[in-house]
Structure 1
Amino acid sequence: MSIGIGLPVSDPAALLEWARRADAGPFSTLGLLDRLVYHNPEPLAALAVLAGATTRVRLQTEVLLAPLRETALLAKQAATLDLMSGGRFVLGLGIGGREDDHHAAGTPLRDRGRRFDQQLADLRSLWSGKPHSAEAGPIGPAPYREGGPEVLIGAFKPKALARVARWGDGLLAAAPPSWAGGLFETVRRDWQEHGRAGQPRIVAQANVALGPDSVVDDAKTAMRTYYAFTEMADQMVSGMLTTAADIRATIRAYRDLGADEVMLYCWGRDPGQVDRLAGLC
């Protein structure tokens, strides 16, 4: 099972250092979250910069909020990043739920699920080289990976999980091991029922902070601020893993559930966490 690093968003300029350390270590992937009305870096632009600073690790959105974006442009951006990174780009997608994000993007919140379904179909079509429409031809460049970059779908509910088998390559599950197993099994069952070959790729995510109290406090403050809109921020922060023993146990639990990769999502800004977490891999 592979281990990746989710990057903090509170200090975008420091991400180059994070990326270089991770690329030199045992990690498989760098992940970056998405919001519009927040101080995080735009993930596609940021990952393009990090692609140029690395040679080995994959670059993954966790998750990109597709309904905020125009589909044809998203298809072109994703194909470009996939091509220019040598196939290292992984497009994690989801729908989001922040009303302010949709207001700023000029997109309706109420039909984001329906819009997302259409986007997934259109992305696959465009990456295959088909014309955009009767009025417009194909949109290039052709991605590095035939059919487009690997697509992971972030989901929790059955209707959303079903998108993995219909349009995706796998699941991105930000759920603790205590209930992630049910999500994994639902996706695997849907995959078989849709007649898909092989197995869906399963990627789990755990929130972590490893270091002195100052690092842990910084991480908890950042995570609490980010999730303040949910009115469950304290509960979510309480689930952060802050000891080597807890992180190792969670990695083992995901491995036992059959996950292909675990993303250790860091909220604290100290890049020394990369080296500390490397010792757990």
Structure 2
Amino acid sequence: MHVGLGLPITDPITLPDWARRAEAGPFTTLGLLDRLVYDNPEPLVTLAVLAGATTRIRLQTEVLLPPLRETALLAKQAATLDLLSSGRLVLGVGVGGREDDHVAAGTDLRTRGRRMDDQLAVMRRLWSGEPYGAGAGPIGPAPARDGGPEVLIGGFRPPALERVARWGDGFLNAAPVSWAGGLFDFVRTSWKEHGRDGSPRLVAQVCAALGPDPVIEEARAAMGAYYANSGQADYMLAGMRTTPASIREAIAQFADLGADEVMLYCWGRDPGQVDRLADLL
């Protein structure tokens, strides 16, 4: 079982420290969320900085919202980051659901699913070196990984889960253990029905905070603020793991379901959590 770290968003200046500590420990991946109308660092820019601060750890968007972005430019940005990080980019993507993000981006919330399907098809083509289309040729640079960076697709409903088999390399699960088994089974079945070889990579997310009470209180406040207008704040906060035993339990439960990696998503700013989480692993 691989274990990665989801990075906090409230103090971007500290993130290179988080990245270096994580790379010195047992962690395999650094993850960073995406919003537009929120006080968070832009993930591709930030992960590019963290790529320069590290040498081996994977760099994952968790999840990037392609419908808010122009497709050809996003394909070029992702390929560039994958190339300059020696193939370490993992592009986790999802449609998002915050109306204000789409207002600010000038995009249509109602068509975001269809838009992302079209975007994934175009990006796959471009990463393979094909021309953009009529009047426009290929868009470089070529990514380090043949066919483009690894793509994980997040979501909860059947249309989102089916995208894994159509466009992705794996599934990024943000649901609790009690839901995850059914989602994993759907993704595996869809993968076979679409004639895909091998198995989808399954990555789970667990919200965690480890340390003295002020660290946990700060993490809960940051997470509560992020989900404040979603109608899910209390539910999400109830799932935060705050003791070594409960974090180990969550990792073991996802391992039993067949997850390949668990991302411990941290909301508190204290980088000492990296070392404490490393110790419990």
User: Which interval holds the TM-score relative to the shorter structure?
Assistant: over 0.9
Q: How many angstroms apart in 1 are the aligned matches of 2:264 and 2:239?
A: 13
Distance in 2, Cα, partners of 1:205 & 1:20: 21
Match of 1:5 in 2: 5
Deviations 1:80-111 (A, max 9, x none): 00000000100000000111101111111110
Distance 1:235 1:118 in 2: 33
Q: Which residue of 2 aligns with 1:249?
A: 249
Cα deviations by residue, 1:3-35 (Å, 9 ceiling, x for unpaired): 000000000001011001001110000000000
The normalised TM-score by structure 2 is 0.99
SS of structure 2 residue aligned to 1:30: strand
Q: TM-score, normalised by structure 1?
A: 0.99
1:46 Cα deviation from its structure 2 partner? 0.1
Match of 1:147 in 2: 147
Which residue matches 2:170? 170
Counterpart in the other structure of 1:275: 275
Instruction: After superposition, give the CA deviation of every residue in 1:241-267 in whole Å (9 maximum; x if it has no partner).
Output: 000000000000000000000000000
> 1:219 corresponds to which residue?
219
Q: Secondary structure at the match of 2:60?
A: strand
Question: SS of 2:264's equivalent?
Answer: strand
Aligned to 1:208: 208
Question: Partners of 2:235 and 2:187 in 1: how far apart?
Answer: 27
The 5-angstrom pairing of residues 43-62 of structure 1 reads 43-62=43-62
What RMSD over aligned residues (CA atoms) do the two structures have, in Å?
Answer: 0.6
**Larger displacement relative to structure 2 (229-238 or 199-208):** 229-238
Give me the identity figure in percent.
Answer: 72
User: Which residue identity is paired with 1:78?
Assistant: A
AA of the residue aligned to 2:165 = A
Quote the Cα distance in structure 1 between the aligned partners of 2:277 and 2:176. Answer: 19
Residue 126 of structure 2 aligns with which residue? 126
Instruction: Deviation per CA, 1:180-203: give whole Å up to 9, x if none.
Output: 011111000011111111100000
Shift of residue 175, structure 1, vs aligned partner: 1.1
Q: Tell me what 2:182 maps to.
A: 182
Structure 2 CA distance for aligned equivalents of residues 235 and 174 of structure 1:
13
Which stretches of structure 1, 4 residues or more, deviate above 4 A after TM superposition? none
What is the DSSP-based 3-state SS (H/G/I as helix, E as strand, rest coil) of the residue aligned with 2:110?
coil
The residue matched to 2:183 in structure 1 has which SS?
helix
Which residue type is aligned with residue 41 of structure 1? P
Structure 2 unaligned blocks of 5 or more: none
In the other structure, the counterpart of 2:193 is 193
Q: Distance in 2 between matches of 1:25 and 1:97?
A: 35
Q: Distance in 1 between matches of 2:14 and 2:8?
A: 9
Secondary structure of 1:228's counterpart equals coil
Which 10-residue stretch deviates more, 229-238 or 268-277? 229-238
Q: Deviations over 1:110-130 (max 9, x none)?
A: 100110110111110111111
Q: Deviations over 1:194-220 (max 9, x none)?
A: 111110000000000000000000000
CA distance in 1, matches of 2:48, 2:64: 14
Q: Which residue of 2 aligns with 1:23?
A: 23
Mapped to 1, the partners of 2:208 and 2:174 lie a distance apart of 12
Q: CA deviation at 1:231?
A: 2.0
1:232 offset after TM fit, Å? Answer: 2.2
Q: In structure 1, what residue type is equivalent to 2:142? A: A
Equivalent residue number for residue 78 of structure 1: 78
Q: Distance in 2 between matches of 1:280 and 1:151?
A: 29
**CA-CA distance at 1:235 after TM superposition:** 2.1
In structure 2, the partner of 1:264 is 264
SS across alignment from 2:273: helix
Alpha-carbon deviation of 1:229? 1.2
**2:87 corresponds to:** 87
Three-state SS of the structure 1 residue aligned to 2:205 is strand
How many residues of Structure 1 are paired with residues of Structure 2 in the alignment? 281
Structure 1 residues 138-194: Cα deviation after superposition (integer angstroms, max 9, x where no partner): 000000000000000001111110000000000000011111011111000011111
SS of the residue corresponding to residue 279 of structure 1 reads helix
Which residue pairs with 2:63 in the alignment? 63
Whole-Å separation in 2 of the counterparts to 1:17 and 1:189: 40
> Which residue type is aligned with residue 18 of structure 2?
W
